[in-house]
A and B are shown apart, each in its own frame.
Chain A
């Protein structure tokens, strides 16, 4: 079991975890760290976020919960999320599951996001509901 600090990239955020427990492919976080990195909260019905709960498969409880810690890597595998790791810098990058991306895009509801402008002020797409929005990308390169 390793306990050195690491960074978890999850959704739009990168979160520093001071004392995680890493064992092979397992990443064990406290309830507070789990919520802070990923937004998932453990409840009697399973892992819950935004009104949806994912039940833990029967007889596999120990893969997900142990000693008041939760294995974010096992949850990601259950959800079909890709995991990319860098050992040297202790970084874990969790992607979105393809099935979730497909569901989101094909719903045709424009997915929300929040990003800074040059002055650092944050803007969300959802602030502009009620307008016709041209969402257009560019780059300096």
Chain B
């Protein structure tokens, strides 16, 4: 979990008018996220989004995904993976550990991403990582009818689970996944609600392997 990474960046860069806002996509709510937040004791906002509202608003299909928003409230980098890459696919899946070379490759994504944030926090609009509007628009995936229908189905499923109707929720999660197969948030959240271990279990790894040459964490080429 990256909460301590964002805390360190906040401590370092707050005088440059920079703040992280972390949003947990967790339909199980406080009980699921409390251990992580309590361990990190963040001084920046660490929010809980049971309904994945922010994912819908900003078109996020995986975690960790981030958007950069400037002082005027304008998006200067659209949704992108925040410092992860696909090296994790080569980890030891039994012990969940990474050999040194894999760990090094995986860590390089984070240091590059953190470096980009630092550059932006200090230089603002002059940073090469703060993208021109045309480039932000070019990188955006625009929501389709399937996407908004998927979101309405996911909301229904999440609400039914919250009300204690997990069985009734299942077809709505299935429909959300069918309409938006690229959303790992829908897949993994639905697994996690069945069993917290399932989101990183054999079903998860089978789905990752099924990607073949396609990336699980697509890396932005300019970072």
Report A's interface with B, CB cutoff 8 A.
Answer: 7, 9, 12, 14, 80-84, 86, 88-89, 91, 93-98, 101-102, 104-106, 108-111, 113, 115-118, 123, 125-126, 128-141
Closest CB-CB distance, A135 to chain B, in whole Å?
5
* Identity of the chain B residue whose Cβ is nearest the Cβ of A133 in the assembled complex: B69
Q: Does B2 have its Cβ within 8 Å of any Cβ on chain A? A: yes
* Identity of the chain A residue whose Cβ is nearest the Cβ of B68 in the assembled complex: A134
- Alpha-carbon gap, A98 to B142, bound state (A): 9
B149 engages A125 (CB within 8 Å): no
Query: With A96-B151, A113-B57 known to touch, is A141 a contact of B145 (CB < 8 Å)?
Result: no
Pull 30 A–B residue pairs with CB atoms less than 8 Å apart, ordered by A. Answer: A9-B159, A84-B156, A89-B163, A93-B152, A95-B155, A98-B147, A101-B143, A104-B57, A105-B59, A105-B78, A106-B142, A109-B75, A110-B73, A113-B57, A117-B46, A125-B69, A129-B73, A132-B18, A132-B70, A132-B71, A132-B121, A133-B21, A135-B21, A135-B58, A136-B21, A136-B82, A137-B23, A137-B82, A140-B35, A140-B196
A109 engages B188 (CB within 8 Å): no
Residue numbers in B under 8 Å from A135 (CB-CB): 21, 23, 54, 58, 66-69
Residue numbers in B under 8 Å from A133 (CB-CB): 19-21, 68-69
The residue that A95 contacts in the complex, of B18, B149, B185, with Cβ under 8 A, is: B149
* Identity of the chain A residue whose Cβ is nearest the Cβ of B56 in the assembled complex: A96
Query: With A98-B143, A131-B18 known to touch, is A137 a contact of B149 (CB < 8 Å)?
Result: no
Q: Does B172 have its Cβ within 8 Å of any Cβ on chain A? A: yes
Closest CB-CB distance, B167 to chain A, in whole Å?
10
Q: Does B87 have its Cβ within 8 Å of any Cβ on chain A? A: no
Q: Is the interface of A mostly helix, strand, loop or mixed?
A: mixed
Residue numbers in A under 8 Å from B36 (CB-CB): 138, 140
Residue numbers in A under 8 Å from B148 (CB-CB): 81-82, 95-98, 101
Residue numbers in B under 8 Å from A134 (CB-CB): 6, 9, 18-21, 66, 68, 117
Closest CB-CB distance, B86 to chain A, in whole Å?
18
Query: With A111-B57, A130-B71, A132-B120 known to touch, is A138 a contact of B2 (CB < 8 Å)?
Result: yes
Size bracket, chain B contacts:
35 or more
- Alpha-carbon gap, A101 to B32, bound state (A): 29
Residue numbers in A under 8 Å from B69 (CB-CB): 110, 125, 132-133, 135
B189 engages A139 (CB within 8 Å): yes
The residue that B168 contacts in the complex, of A86, A109, A125, A140, with Cβ under 8 A, is: A86
Q: Does B85 have its Cβ within 8 Å of any Cβ on chain A? A: no
Closest CB-CB distance, A124 to chain B, in whole Å?
10
The 3 closest A-B pairs by CB, nearest first: A95-B152, A141-B192, A141-B199
Report which residue of A88, A98, A136 has the largest number of chain B beta carbons within 10 angstroms of its beta carbon.
A136
Residue numbers in B under 8 Å from A139 (CB-CB): 24-26, 63, 185, 188-189, 192
The residue that B151 contacts in the complex, of A95, A108, A117, with Cβ under 8 A, is: A95
